[in-house]
Structure 1
Amino acid sequence: MRVSSSALLATLLAVAAAKPVPETHVVHEKRDVAHRFTTSRWVKRDRLEKDTVLPVRVGLKQQNLHNGAEWLMDVSHPQSPNFGRHWTQDEVIAKFSPSNETLTTVRDWLVKNGISDRRITHSDNKAWFAFDATTEEVEDLLHTQYHEFEHSSTGNYVAACDQYHVPKHIQEHIDFISPGVKGANLRKRDSKKAKRGLRGSPARKQAPFMPKNVSSLATCDQVVTPACIQALYKIAPNDPHAKVSPNNSLGIFEEGDFYAQGDLDRFFGNFTPYIPNGTHPIPNLIDGAKAPVSLQLAGGESDLDFQLAYPLIYPQTTTLYQTDDIYYSFGNDPNATGLFNTFFDAIDGSYCTYSAFGETGNDPVLDPKYPNTHASNGYKGALQCGVYKPTNVISISYGEQEQDLPAYYQQRQCNEWLKLGLQGVSIFVASGDTGVGGIRGDGSVNGCLGSNATVFSPTHPNSCPWLTNVGGTKIYPGRSVYEPESAVNDPESGYSSGGGFSNLFDIPDYQASAVSTYFSAHDPGYKYYRNGQYNSTGGGLYNRNGRGIPDVAANGDNFAVFNAGRFILEGGTSGSAPIFASLINRIVEERIKVGKGALGFVNPTLYEHPEVLNDIVNGTNPGCGTKGFSAVKGWDPVTGLGTPDYPKMLDLFMGLP
């Protein structure tokens, strides 16, 4: 490569001006190993002025992150003597907070290098130090140089460096420093509106008829009513006048999609007359979110979630976690493609300042920023932290693909799912509606990975091992509720049950035997790769040692729904998740009646006792030019362990402490 004499001179002058790095220091982070910055996305621009003030954060090493999985299994495995002895939030914070040695060592280093103690703010959860400093101060502290970096497509500007140094004795005590290789926002140019890339819109079609007898099971293969779901999983409606626990509401997450009370009332009037009109979720509205909306603005996802849940749990209540103001929830910031962080903030105040995997607090680019200064009608309050309690069970029908978000973003969130499990919260997430592929047009025409767009695309947050993924099943034409279901597969709409193997997270111990049996008895026959390295393996389609998706399944097609005042059919694993979550919420209610507690993370128990589920052995989840995987005996990456048998599940969980 030829270099001009002027460029060479500039380089030599910069090197000459830079202060030598002391032998006592080492490189802590370097750009060529960073997740966020690649040469195709970020372009280095001018040096920062020395008097530019930077908001510095020092992420302190957390204690015991490596013990998290073991602790979760200790309270979740049915054979553990500590099953059900969930932790308080304060106990979780204390276990993962940095050590006193870390706090003292890092503070002393900062003070000795000119950052006075009064300038340093220490977060409530002890996870980071923060202070403002000039570029000159930070460059001297970290022996580096700061530049502006411009994103080639979004126009975001961040302050960052190529690498920075810390003393050797400090390195073991810090996770990262920002701005460093990870940038801090400076400004951005105006950009066009774009919709956030969320998975959560149900498959929709015209209903062939309105059932005249809503208790009839004769046409469940065409229109799935509450009576069909109750018959499939052997669960009768609750006594509508029964006394229920006020502390066992079913949580339902929504983002950018809103329910209409008129739709709920139409549904209740036609299918569940024992549920009175006006019945509605408890509103836990986050960062300026609003709900309900008028019929004309009603979202298919929200209407579907509540119309599936209420017939299964009433008179138990639901709690709506509706996130973000209209500006962000409608995707008016094309850079804010992240998901769940403002929800985590609201139900776990410590998450607002929690540090892990090079990230502290919300991401400055990927997440909404409050107060919202971008829109006149945006939420002007402060970011809501710890304002709501998590319910015992939460259903989530939204997600993205693993490829859509940086690894550190997903890893830090996975820690939060683990922390919620430790506190007794059960999380159920729809596995996705695009089979083994991704959303069409997302990264490639067919949403698949690799240079030839043939590699299967795992879903987020489903790849995290510490939540329960729910795949989709269907009553095939001509079949009844008394016959086995099949994996959902609708070629006309391209909808099939999301499943496969994570490229980011390894197979967890509780799943290892089931996945091993699947490969030994039902090898899918595709070439594979390992450790998520699909770009260097010569044709592999899936990650052989990745966490398997889904864990379980439930019906996911032809649901009878009222949306925007019309009677239609909807489908999607976004319906499967609230069905399974509702059954677990019913079981928690029965446990509370006899003095027992919530269930928390249910996967270890279900994998230990697959006999409480209906094994699904028919159907596939096509994608990426293949038929995908097949539903087979035992666990499979289409329908997991199978669909619920409520009486068996109830007996199992009632028999546990």
Structure 2
Amino acid sequence: MKVLPTLAGLSLAVSSLALPTSDHVVHERRTVTHSRWEKTGPVNETEPIMVRIGLTQSNLDRAYQYLMDVSDSVSPNYGKFWTPEQVASTFAPSNETVAAVRKWLNGAGVENSRLSQTKHSGWIAFNATAQEVEGLFHTQYYHYHDRTSGVKTIATHEYHIPQSIQQHIDYIKPGVLLPPASKKRSKRRPRMQKAPQPSVNATSLATCDQAITPACIAALYQIPPSDSTVSANNSLGVFEEGSMYSQEDLNLFFGNFTPWIPQGTKPQPAFIDGGTAPAPVEDAGTESNLDFQLAYPIVYPQTLTLYQTDDKFYGASTIVDGLFNTFLDALDGSYCTYCAYGECGDDPKYDPTYPDKFSGGYTGQLMCGTYKPTNVISISYGGQEYDLPAYYQQRQCNEFLKLGLQGTSVLIASGDDGVAGPLGDDNTNGCLGDGSVFSPTWPNSCPYITNVGATKVYPGQTVADPESAVYDPPGHPYFSEFASGGGFSNIYGIPDYQAAAVAEYFKSHNPSYPYYEGQSNMGKNGGVYNRLGRGYPDIAANGDNIAMFSEGQNFLEGGTSASTPIFASIINRIVEKRLAAGKGALGFLNPVLYRNAHALNDITNGTNPGCGSDGFSTAPGWDPVTGLGTPNFPKLLDVFMNLP
């Protein structure tokens, strides 16, 4: 029997008019209802309802095993990545599942002519009256009204299905679920206030403690000059939403810091659902400018591919709360209708819907499977686990797994608020519970992506000295506090590839804070972090005092937004070497990185404050501030070149 977790408030009884027969069992039940939801009355029996039956996906229980089989260097199948067709067919519902559910519906009077099914068999849908649906599921539906947002919906307390087909059904909508409260958030990094800087010597390493230039980055991580010839099939993918680069800013950066990159060099466009770029210089986005100005000096003459996602309305954080789903749709056509964890396709509450109803919006259909994923993708956006329902995040996390199966390396910025979230997220200090519980970031806690934290060259230090975890108090130099995001998930457990490293951290460098075990125990006994959660970040790179141009001006900028394109660019350079040697892409990086921590520069100084605490501390080996450390290009190249 599948029973949903408690949500909060009052319960209702199933109508005596729809009592289950002996072969029916409860499939989902809501035990309580949040007090903000008001039950306003039963639905009219003639009211039309669109029913969606999410079919049980095949092999989800083996997904992690599949990923490790092609990602772990000790596996005989390392690097033998799957095709998109293999991925779609492996996880699609079985023919047995489809046939069983259709047979049940036909027998209950829902003819095949009324049934529609998605291309990849994720769900079966049909229109019916409320009376038909209540009879089919032996339940009664009610209208609900959200006193806070004004949202209206229909739902039931519990519903029943025949026990013989229960294994074939994941969930049914409308069902027991009432949408959670909408939590607006910042979707962009960096969130630091730009700080004007003096003139910087582009080639000197003497001032890297004041401003990080491409020369400083190359020296820090021993990055050699790029080869003059590159593969046409190895463009570095960069995700953007809302923020648009300015060609004028790129040209100013090239002219001042990288004269070997020709003026007018620009990313290849892969515009998704109405995304556009570049922007006029006065409208330039700091995030997008920063990504390209950090990546180009490392990868050029390799190209960059810009995944500019969503039109100007949905690109704004005030329009929707979700992120990444329309981007993932464009990379994988099956994801548009993929069902998992009670979520089927994009979520109309959180994600953009196309055609866009807003004047001037994108009027085309949702783009599904339009672009082939690049070998490496850099993402400097995100939010907090608290922002979105777990089912939304888990379905998305599975898609990152599927990209790894196909050979794509996904690197994501770990956040800029230390162990907290942005100010005002849940609490005024961005923390959970009573304001003392640490707030993990999303999608960073997903175990199938590589998280990148931030480091800094502190005043008086040089590129020859070990870096430290980044920490800038409020006003020094940015308006808001900046610390490398890190901690432990409340949704996902510790993955096998990380287990030994996390265990060693707890054994030898145990944090002094009380902890809880599992999300259901959050805050119990004063605990401020989940001892059983997936730890992040995995790695780090420099993310402070970055010299850049935006809106035609020279600035210093900071954020894990800077760390991510740096590390992603290095990985893309290594993929280039592998391709030249007749080898393939790298896919999911973490299993190899955790087996080869010696190939990274261990960071052992600094913390990531937040929630009224000093946060976690760096330590020898992995830590939840800077992960395994920063890149050492020669060592990483040696590790990956010696793999099949």
- How far off its partner does 1:199 sit? 4.0
Tell me the residue number matched to 2:123: 128
CA apart distance, 1:525: 1.2
Q: Which residue of 1 aligns with 2:295?
A: 309
Give the TM-score normalised by the residue count of structure 2: 0.95
2:52 and 2:125 in contact (8 A); partners too: yes
- The answer to whether the 8 A contact 2:185-2:425 is kept is no
**Aligned residue among 261, 266, 271 for 2:257:** 271
Question: What is the identity, as a one-letter code, of the residue corresponding to 1:201?
Answer: P
CA deviations on 1:529-573 (whole Å, 9 max, x unpaired) are 101234462101111111001000000000011011111000000
* 1:506 match: 493
Structure 1 pair 429–184 and aligned structure 2 pair: CA distance change class (3 A): closer
Q: 2:408 aligns with which of 386, 400, 425?
A: 425
1:567 aligns with 2:554: yes
TM-superposition CA deviations, 1:20-59 (whole Å, max 9, x none): 22111111111237xxxx4134322232232322221111
Shift of the alpha carbon at 1:407?
0.6
Cα shift at 1:175: 0.2
Shift of residue 153 of structure 1?
Answer: 2.1
Which residue of structure 1 lines up, in the alignment, with residue 82 of structure 2?
87
- For residue 218 of structure 1, the aligned residue among 200, 206, 217 is 206
Residue type of the partner of 2:513?
Y
Question: Which residue in the other structure is 2:621 paired with?
Answer: 634
Spell out, residue by residue over 1:414-472, the C-alpha distance to the aligned partner (whole angstroms, 9 max, x if none): 1111111000000000000000111111110101111x210111000000101000000
Alignment correspondent of 2:594 = 607
Question: Which amino acid counterpart does residue 480 of structure 1 have in structure 2?
Answer: T
- Which of residues 94, 102, 120 in structure 2 aligns to 1:99? 94
The 8 Å contact of residues 185 and 387 in structure 2, kept in 1 or not, is answered as no
Tell me which of 464, 471, 477 is aligned to 2:453.
Answer: 471
Letter aligned with residue 67 of structure 1: R
How many angstroms apart in 2 are the aligned matches of 1:160 and 1:324?
31
Task: Give identity over the alignment, percent.
Answer: 58
User: What SS is found at the alignment partner of 1:575?
Assistant: helix
Q: Distance in 2 between matches of 1:277 and 1:514?
A: 45
Aligned to 2:444: 462
CA apart distance, 1:605:
0.5
**CA distance 1:261–1:521, shift in 2 (3 Å):** same
CA distance in 1, matches of 2:464, 2:118: 56
Q: Report what 1:537 is aligned to.
A: 524
Across the aligned residues of Structure 1 and Structure 2, the Cα RMSD in angstroms comes to 1.8
* 1:370 maps to which of 354, 374, 381: 354
Alignment partner, residue 232 of structure 1: 220
Matches within 5 A, 1:323-338: 323-333=309-319, 336-338=320-322
Indicate how the Cα distance of structure 1 residues 520 and 109 shifts in structure 2: closer, same or farther if over 3 A, else same: same
What is the distance in 1 between the residues matched to 2:282 and 2:193?
Answer: 16
SS of residue paired to 1:328: coil
Would you say the 8 A contact 1:446–1:453 is kept in 2? Answer: yes
Shift of 1:150: 2.0
Q: How does 1:343-362 map to 2 (within 5 A)?
A: 343-362=327-346
Instruction: Check whether the contact 2:616–2:624 (CA below 8 A) recurs between aligned residues.
Output: yes
SS in 2 for 1:130: strand
Following superposition, the deviation at residue 120 of structure 1 comes to: 1.1
The one-letter code sitting in structure 2 at the alignment partner of 1:346 is A
Aligned residues: 628
Partner of 1:197: 186
- Bigger Cα displacement from structure 2, 608-617 vs 140-149: 140-149
**CA–CA separation in structure 1 for the residues paired with 2:81 and 2:635:** 24
Aligned residue among 416, 426, 432 for 2:399: 416
1:124-182: per-residue Cα shift (whole Å, max 9, x none)?
Answer: 11221112222222111111222222222222222222211111111111000111123
1:66 to 61, 66, 77: 61
Q: Post-superposition shift, 1:184?
A: 9.5
CA distance in 2 between partners of 1:551 and 1:19 (Å): 52
Cα distance, 1:77–1:15 mapped onto 2, change above 3 Å? closer
- Provide the rounded CA distance (Å) in 2 between the counterparts of 1:184 and 1:631: 39
Among residues 145, 150, 171, which one is paired with 1:150 in the alignment? Answer: 145
Counterpart position of 1:388? 371
C-alpha contact (below 8 Å) 2:436/2:612 kept by paired residues: yes
Off by >6 Å, runs of 4+ in structure 1? none
Aligned mates of 1:389, 1:149 — CA distance in 2? 42
Contact 1:119 1:131 in 2 (8 A): yes
Corresponding residue of 2:427: 444
Aligned counterpart, 1:114: 109
C-alpha displacement of 1:103: 1.0
1:511-522 pair list within 5 angstroms? 511-522=498-509
Could you give the per-residue CA deviations for residues 70-108 of structure 1, whole angstroms, max 9, x where no partner exists?
Answer: 111111111111110000011111111111211111000
Quote the Cα distance in structure 1 between the aligned partners of 2:529 and 2:350: 27
Alignment CA distance shift 1:183-1:121 (3 Å): farther
The counterpart of 1:180, out of the listed 167, 175, 184, is 175
Following the alignment from structure 1 to structure 2, what is the Cα–Cα distance between the partners of residues 486 and 246?
37
1:557 corresponds in structure 2 to 544
Deviation of residue 15 (structure 1)? 4.4
The residue number in structure 1 matching 2:247 is 261
Distance, in Å, in 2 between the alignment partners of 1:184 and 1:489 is 37
One-letter amino acid of the counterpart of residue 113, structure 2: R
Is the CA contact (8 Å cut-off) linking 1:438 and 1:447 kept in structure 2? yes
Q: Which amino acid aligns with 1:39?
A: H
Q: Which amino acid in 2 is paired with 1:356?
A: A
Q: Which amino acid aligns with 1:160?
A: A
Q: Normalized against structure 1, the TM-score is what? A: 0.93
Following the alignment from structure 1 to structure 2, what is the Cα–Cα distance between the partners of residues 332 and 624?
Answer: 25
Q: 1:310 to 1:123 in 2, by over 3 A?
A: same
| 8 Å contact kept, 2:604–2:620 | yes
* Unmatched runs of 5 consecutive residues or more in structure 2: 1-11, 475-479
Structure 1 unaligned runs (5+)? 1-10, 186-190
Aligned-pair CA distance for 1:386 = 0.7
Q: 2:584 aligns with which of 579, 588, 597?
A: 597
Equivalent position amino acid for 1:28 in 2: H
